[in-house]
Structure 1
Amino acid sequence: MSTEAKRPNVIWILVDQFRGQSLSLMRDPNVRTPHLDRLAYEGCHFPRALSGTPLCTPARGSFLTGRYPHASTAPTHDSPMDETVPTIATVLGEEGYDTCYIGKWHLDGRERASTDAAHEEEARTRFIPPERRGDFGSWFGFEYSNRPFDTIVNVDTPDGPGLRELPGFQSDVLTDLLIDWLAARGAEAGPFFAVLSIEPPHSPYLAPADAMARHHPDDIVFRGNVPESAEVRDQAARELAGYYAAIEQVDEGVGRLRAALADLGIADETYLMFFSDHGDMHGSHGQFRKTAPWEEAIRIPFIVGGARSRDHQELSYAAIDSLVNHVDVAPTTLGLCGVDTPDWMQGHDYSGRILEEHWHSIEAPPGEPVDAYLSLPIPTLHEHSVDRAYRGIVTKDDWKYVCLEGQPWLMFDLTSDPLEQVNLAHNTRYASKRAELHRALRVLIERTGDTFGLPELD
């Protein structure tokens, strides 16, 4: 990297359980996301991005390390990330970047507590020591909370470790905290990498009263794969009303952050990367929450804008069809900063797609992955979760294939069946296609250094 060129800043806006379909940009009739839509129009949108392991801790470990969950030391819920494992903050810190983490961490591991409730209370007030912070410098994190109006963050004080209560809705107060941090360091300081990690729209699906007032369960338009079950639809409608309200509050925060960057005079040199750890089923296929390999759980928003955005007078939305996976976020971020991907990262650098002047018209460059890897290494056994390990593949030509140990499970042609209502995994008419996808999945398992008991096909 040239020492003469001014290096860009990067902010990750990482939200929890935000599925990629839930943007007005994606024609969801239940929600309005003008600030995220604008970010996508002025920058780049990857509508086929996915979370290869749709579960908080494994996804977060992969975002930070550029490694798959089975190789990142965070393979399941509440896994502690090995403090000796380097992260993207390690790399950028060595490149002279200031680094800052604000919000949910969920990589410090599970303390031994007698009940889940006791553990949750302990997690929200736990002070995470410096050696457990993934090499981030400025730190305002917490393990997790799931209380969107009652946020407590870690703070380092001259007198030692402390906790700070932030009254208000979490996406609002954490955004304020980042804006304050940016203002305090000043526009003339060196480059920075900051993570704003927000829990909403994660359950309990709440938002400020004015946002909640705009959404009523009776008005929810369901996705076409939510079954005609009163029990399923009643739960989905109640939860989706709060879910969409929280999304709109997050969107408002994105607008405030962009305005603050403009006021500081650093908007044009700061990339905003907006994405989530995984999606949420919300009644599709009769399922709820995460861990499942269906589209509603694995597809995430992935929008990159801000620095070097296209001329506002020449906006014409186009989407990049690359299969960006969770392991690719760190390498892509480093590429935007002009830093080579270290050999210990397993992901692909998509920064060339973003920096290409005519990014929406180019063919996939040589070396770009044609398949994305799905996995659930260790089931959580939580309510509304998949209780068996699986491995799967999504292909560039829009096929999905998923296996349980010793058994094919799901196979969909996403081009003709985007709502995944026709499972072809056990249809003899598609035996040759299944065999083709099975071979490709085996290659991914071996290439990523994973182990899994794939079935033997006749």
Structure 2
Amino acid sequence: MKTMNSYKNYIFPVMAVACSLNCTAKEKVKRPNIIFMMTDDHTTQAISCYGSKLASTPNLDRLANEGVRFDNCYATNALSGPSRACILTGKFSHVNGFTDNSSVFNGNQPTFPSLLRKAGYQTAIIGKWHLISEPKGFDYWCILTGQHEQGDYYKPDFCENGKDIQEQGYVTDVITDKTIDFLEHRDKSKPFCVMYHQKAPHRNWMPAQRYLGIFNDRVFPEPENLFDDYSERGRAAKEQDMSIAKTMTDAWDLKLLTHDEIMKLPDDNKFKKVYTRMTPAEMAKWDSTYAERIAQFRKGGMNDKQLISWKYQQYMRDYLATAQAVDENVGRLLEYLEKTGELDNTIIVYTSDQGFFLGEHGWFDKRFMYEECQRMPLMVRYPKAIKPKSVSNAICMNVDFAPTFLDFAGIPVPADIQGHSLKPVLQGEGKAPANWRKAAYYHYYEYPAEHSVKRHYGIRTADFKLIHFYNDVNEWEMYDLKKDPREMHNVFGKPAYAKEQRKLMKLLLETQKQYKDTDPEEKVHVLFNGNKVNQNK
């Protein structure tokens, strides 16, 4: 692997010397390291410490057992690039400027890595970036390229401090290798902040070779609302394009082509491109794994409902097998930190850029403000401040991560950051302070675009959710999350909920004023036929 030598050449022509004799006592205090682990589309339904019936994730469970698990952490815009921009800046999409995946991140604005670096931290981003512009504020960066910056599962391409490289192997393993290599050769006189960001388990769910077919004989429980008919909701749920029934493709998603059929595809076919990144031996194992699935499909004989159930099972087998390498590699990284004596002096955060639908409402993907994708996993381990086995119900958002990192590092949080430090929650065994926020705010912009999820904004309180879909519709939805946790029954406008509805409408306006989203239906950048345009509300 090229990482070690190129990393040394980029960053350490001369190792930093020890602190001079006139260092202040404050400067001699050992500040915590930070490992910020983030995956892509890894939802709480697939993590066993959240009660998953689908997966076992022992290494992620370890983080929760030795730290805190947050049960109410929410994305402010459940889409990869926008969520990452919110995390970096501690600001909402309408403030940081990255509202949708056609945006370009303005790296000149302050981010938590750049502020940490100015304060003496050594900073790195390794893995998925997906913000189009080059990373700034890092001593070292090595980000995935290709597939529109999603990266590839096999033989992945990277841009390493401006140089294009390609690595052999499986992407989840390679990113961990590179992270450990960085830590092994870092400047040990400085605390570090590493953004360890995996591609997995993003669509199209290609497992590592060692996990191919591990769930082929397992039948997964179906979500109760797999066959949701959207009878109590409006156009947004009915007009989406993210259903297992109609949107999943035979090749890209379900892998229903043989080797010979794939090789006959045009060279620019996206599935052929990812398939041919495998070595001949890897292709052979892949073909053997999916042969029975292809035979089942071509045998036919399934009615529409049976076919949806069958597709759901194949989806789960691939998604969960892809996520296996994530948990395994988290364990590798924890083992390295333990071996080097840095584990307990390192704040370790695990999250995903948002959640994901695993068949709920008949869907895959994210974008909606519904619980499965708005909710993010969040586990934090730092024994110097966090009591083991803590569980928090505090309402937090991804804009809270930046001020939390700065707060623990002893760096003043800039006044224009919109999130709040989670430090008092973490130190308080997961309990929220008395004056903690009452609602999480959400605003999704990318429409018309892939998956056809309409623009919407809203708030999520401990017990209720209020959503307004706008642009080419004007529809409201409200859910009683205690009685209806699966969000099947829209109670907006029902007399029994009139009082609560008025309270939520008032709180929504107050929240929008607080976060400076006072004209939420103003002109926004959206993706339309592949071009970035402005559209009126």
Into which bin does the TM-score normalised by the smaller protein fall?
0.7 to 0.9
| C-alpha contact (below 8 Å) 2:122/2:139 kept by paired residues | yes
Equivalent position SS for 2:72: coil
Matches within 5 A, 1:155-304: 155-156=160-161, 161-185=162-186, 188-216=188-216, 219-227=219-227, 229-304=305-380
Structure 2 letter corresponding to 1:32 = S
Aligned to 2:141: 139
Deviates more, 1:445-454 or 1:282-291: 445-454
Matches within 5 A, 1:26-425: 26-108=50-132, 132-143=134-145, 144-156=149-161, 161-185=162-186, 188-216=188-216, 219-227=219-227, 229-308=305-384, 317-356=389-428, 359-360=429-430, 362=431, 364-379=432-447, 381-383=449-451, 385-386=452-453, 388-395=454-461, 397-405=462-470, 407-425=474-492
Distance between the aligned counterparts of 1:340 and 1:236, measured in 2?
A: 48
Equivalent position SS for 2:501: helix
Number of residue equivalences = 416
| C-alpha contact (below 8 Å) 2:46/2:52 kept by paired residues | yes
Distance between the aligned counterparts of 1:333 and 1:148, measured in 2?
A: 30
1:218: Cα distance to partner? Answer: 5.5
| C-alpha contact (below 8 Å) 1:52/1:325 kept by paired residues | yes
Distance between the aligned counterparts of 2:505 and 2:201, measured in 1?
A: 35
Equivalent position SS for 2:222: coil
Give the 3 Å change call, closer, same or farther, for CA 84–276 of structure 1 in structure 2. same
Aligned to 1:9: 33
Give the 3 Å change call, closer, same or farther, for CA 86–258 of structure 1 in structure 2. same
Distance between the aligned counterparts of 1:88 and 1:296, measured in 2?
A: 28
Distance between the aligned counterparts of 2:513 and 2:419, measured in 1?
A: 15
| C-alpha contact (below 8 Å) 2:463/2:480 kept by paired residues | yes
1:89: Cα distance to partner? Answer: 1.1
Structure 1 letter corresponding to 2:227 = P
Deviates more, 1:43-52 or 1:210-219: 210-219
1:231: Cα distance to partner? Answer: 4.7
| C-alpha contact (below 8 Å) 2:154/2:171 kept by paired residues | yes
| C-alpha contact (below 8 Å) 1:217/1:238 kept by paired residues | no
Q: TM-score, normalised by structure 1?
A: 0.86
Deviates more, 1:428-437 or 1:322-331: 428-437
Distance between the aligned counterparts of 1:237 and 1:335, measured in 2?
A: 44
1:205: Cα distance to partner? Answer: 1.1
| C-alpha contact (below 8 Å) 1:19/1:296 kept by paired residues | yes
Map Cα deviations across residues 351-409 of structure 1 (whole Å, 9 max, x no partner): 122133xx14x4x21432111001103325103x41x21111011x3211100127343
Deviates more, 1:57-66 or 1:165-174: 165-174
Structure 1 letter corresponding to 2:220 = I
Structure 2 letter corresponding to 1:328 = D
Structure 2 letter corresponding to 1:147 = D
Structure 2 letter corresponding to 1:99 = T
* Percent identity over paired residues: 28
Give the 3 Å change call, closer, same or farther, for CA 211–438 of structure 1 in structure 2. same
Equivalent position SS for 1:400: strand
Distance between the aligned counterparts of 1:60 and 1:207, measured in 2?
A: 24
Give the 3 Å change call, closer, same or farther, for CA 231–440 of structure 1 in structure 2. farther
Give the 3 Å change call, closer, same or farther, for CA 278–74 of structure 1 in structure 2. same
| C-alpha contact (below 8 Å) 2:67/2:390 kept by paired residues | no
Structure showing greater Rg: 2
Distance between the aligned counterparts of 2:469 and 2:104, measured in 1?
A: 25
Distance between the aligned counterparts of 1:223 and 1:265, measured in 2?
A: 43
Equivalent position SS for 1:79: coil
Residue segments in structure 1 that go unaligned for 5+ positions in a row: 110-131
Structure 1 letter corresponding to 2:412 = D
Distance between the aligned counterparts of 1:174 and 1:453, measured in 2?
A: 39
Map Cα deviations across residues 281-311 of structure 1 (whole Å, 9 max, x no partner): 1321122211111111111110111453768
Residue segments in structure 2 that go unaligned for 5+ positions in a row: 1-24, 229-304, 523-537
Give the 3 Å change call, closer, same or farther, for CA 146–217 of structure 1 in structure 2. farther
Aligned to 2:237: none
Aligned to 1:129: none
Distance between the aligned counterparts of 1:30 and 1:334, measured in 2?
A: 36
Distance between the aligned counterparts of 1:13 and 1:297, measured in 2?
A: 18
| C-alpha contact (below 8 Å) 1:21/1:299 kept by paired residues | no
Q: Is 1:427 aligned with 2:427? A: no
| C-alpha contact (below 8 Å) 2:385/2:427 kept by paired residues | no
